[in-house]
Structure 1
Amino acid sequence: MSADGMPAALSPYVTTLAAYDLGPGSGGVHRGLPSSTLSITIPEADPVDIAWVGRPGPGRRLRAAVAGLHLDAAELRQRGCTRGLWLTLTPPGAAALLGVPASALAGEVAELADVVPALADLPERLAACRSWAQRRALVERRLLAGLARHGDRAARRTPRAALAALSGTGRVEEAARLLGCSRRHLSGAVRAELGVTPKEYQRLVRFEAARARLVAAARSGAAGLADVAAASGFADQAHLTREWRAMAGCTPTEWLRTEGPTPQPPSQPPR
């Protein structure tokens, strides 16, 4: 068992398992920011409506939503009951726990039952639970069952070393050098498994790092946007703001004003 209570076998694959409540102040609306993880959102009762910010066309109404890596923001809207369960997986976790490569979901949101038929009954099973402890235990059991089915095959194909190298460097060429391969080989392996290019993956990692520092700074009041930008690898505050506009559809300040720092799990809304 890991320090956060997660079974050790799931720790390499599950980054978040939490309850959420959008609450009355949000109007049941949440902005899902770009992420280097995959997310599963299971509303407690009413379906969730999801639309991509800035993309044409209607959104989708889903009983349980699974979203791949994405470089655009999404708007999640729940009417009626605004509570639910939120789960995020590392890219290797998609293959190991769900049986599908992360590339199959990149830039998309789909019904969980369509992606993983074995989990089609999970929303109803969760609704029947009487406590958060029961819900968490149920999800962990189902994920462990998925790992038993898919884990060995996934371990042979997921480029974990490549993801670690890309996360720890600022340039794709440097990551390729550390791995002892060509940039072309690295790009092909990452795109095949994640559905994004190595540069896009690094962009997601940098955005997430900036978001985490932004939240920490807002809570403590100890740092401003310029400090967050510098610590996160942006040229300056203007560069950070441009990237947030492009990826989140708003500036960092606008995001903090509308959503702001939120309590940590188990009450944190889906990201």
Structure 2
Amino acid sequence: MIPAPPVPVALRPYVAARIPYDVRFGAPGVHRGLPSTTLTLVLPLDDPLRVAWAGRPSTLHAAWGSLSGLHTEPAAVHHDGAQRGVQLALTLEGARVLLGRPAADLSGALTDLDEAAVPRPLRELPERLHAVPTWAGRVALVDRVLAALAAQRGDHAPRAEVARALALLTSGTRVSEVADEVGYSRRRLSSLVRAEAGLAPKAFQRLARFETARRELGRRPLAEVAALCGYSDQAHLSREWSALAGCTPTTWLREEFPFVQDRADGVPAGSGHDH
């Protein structure tokens, strides 16, 4: 775990987490990147990040800046026994402000910064990061670049009613009740959520529930996690975990949890490449 100051207050609407990582696995291998309601931006040190969608080796690519939009399948992150870098979890508002586009444009995408055509300061950030010798300096550089982008772009927040709908969906409110709350038909709500996040309301809500389960997994019995997160029972939780993470909760706890547990506090429930 690398000590780092919290995300600056001015960036918190856009950056759910900013995690400097230095992970030692002991041997080459692959670990899982979990789906999330945030976009994942990884800036690796030492070597390009090699990542693909799990079970689809043809999608493997290496990049000094890896960007993934919202997705409902796990990623496979290849490593040589160790990884270092900085990982960012960007909110939907952060996609608009920092990337200059709605998250829907990157839904299901696994790409690099050049292909994603992000603003130049972000494309130049990996090379600048490599020239900084300390973790404190690297984190400070990332924060400065993001703060400058946010200041330049001004207010590009999603429409207030769409932001409200997304917050209600994240909290577990039924889709029909969300539509009533924001004053839209279910069809109109679905169109607006898709345009912002790239997912239908129920799919977005599914990711939010998975994130909550991910936060609790390993900290209480599986049956309690299932009840707390709104799954019908433990079997339902296991089926959803297998579908979204590519393994059962028990397998994830055994293979991935020790590394996740060692990371800095404040990591969102599902953090994309999940270092």
Fold similarity call, TM over 0.5: yes
Q: Distance between the aligned counterparts of 2:30 and 2:264, measured in 1?
A: 18
Shift of 1:39: 0.6
Shift of 1:148: 2.1
Question: 1:220 corresponds to which residue?
Answer: none
| Contact preservation (8 Å) 2:172, 2:209 | no
Question: 1:224 corresponds to which residue?
Answer: 221
Shift of 1:147: 1.1
**Superposed counterparts of 1:35-50, under 5 Å:** 35-50=36-51
Q: Distance between the aligned counterparts of 2:266 and 2:27, measured in 1?
A: 14
| Contact preservation (8 Å) 1:95, 1:151 | no
Aligned length: 261
The higher relative CO (CA closer than 8 Å, separation ≥ 6) is in 2
Q: Distance between the aligned counterparts of 2:36 and 2:249, measured in 1?
A: 15
Gaps of 5+ in 1: 218-222
Q: What SS does the corresponding residue of 1:208 show, helix, strand or coil?
A: helix
Shift of 1:47: 0.7
| Contact preservation (8 Å) 1:47, 1:63 | yes
Normalising to structure 2: TM-score of the pair? Answer: 0.88
Shift of 1:58: 3.6
Question: 2:144 corresponds to which residue?
Answer: 141
Alignment match of 1:253 (pick from 250, 253, 273): 250
Percent identity between matched residues is: 48
Q: Distance between the aligned counterparts of 1:170 and 1:182, measured in 2?
A: 15
Q: Distance between the aligned counterparts of 1:93 and 1:26, measured in 2?
A: 35
Which stretch of structure 1 is more off in the superposition, 74-83 or 261-270?
261-270
Shift of 1:179: 1.4
**Superposed counterparts of 1:94-113, under 5 Å:** 94-113=95-114
Q: 1:31 to 1:147 in 2, by over 3 A?
A: same
Cα RMSD between the aligned structures?
2.1
Q: Distance between the aligned counterparts of 1:54 and 1:25, measured in 2?
A: 23
Question: 2:168 corresponds to which residue?
Answer: 165
Shift of 1:29: 2.9
Q: 1:103 to 1:267 in 2, by over 3 A?
A: closer
| Contact preservation (8 Å) 1:37, 1:68 | yes
| Contact preservation (8 Å) 2:41, 2:89 | yes
Q: What SS does the corresponding residue of 1:235 show, helix, strand or coil?
A: coil
Normalising to structure 1: TM-score of the pair? Answer: 0.89
Shift of 1:144: 1.3
Question: 1:155 corresponds to which residue?
Answer: 157
Question: 2:191 corresponds to which residue?
Answer: 188
| Contact preservation (8 Å) 1:169, 1:175 | no
Shift of 1:161: 1.1
Gaps of 5+ in 2: none
Q: 1:129 to 1:186 in 2, by over 3 A?
A: same
Paired amino acid for 1:207: F
Which stretch of structure 1 is more off in the superposition, 169-178 or 97-106?
169-178
Q: What SS does the corresponding residue of 1:25 show, helix, strand or coil?
A: coil
Shift of 1:164: 0.8
Shift of 1:57: 2.7
Q: 1:54 to 1:29 in 2, by over 3 A?
A: closer
Q: 1:25 to 1:229 in 2, by over 3 A?
A: farther
Shift of 1:113: 2.9
Q: What SS does the corresponding residue of 1:155 show, helix, strand or coil?
A: coil
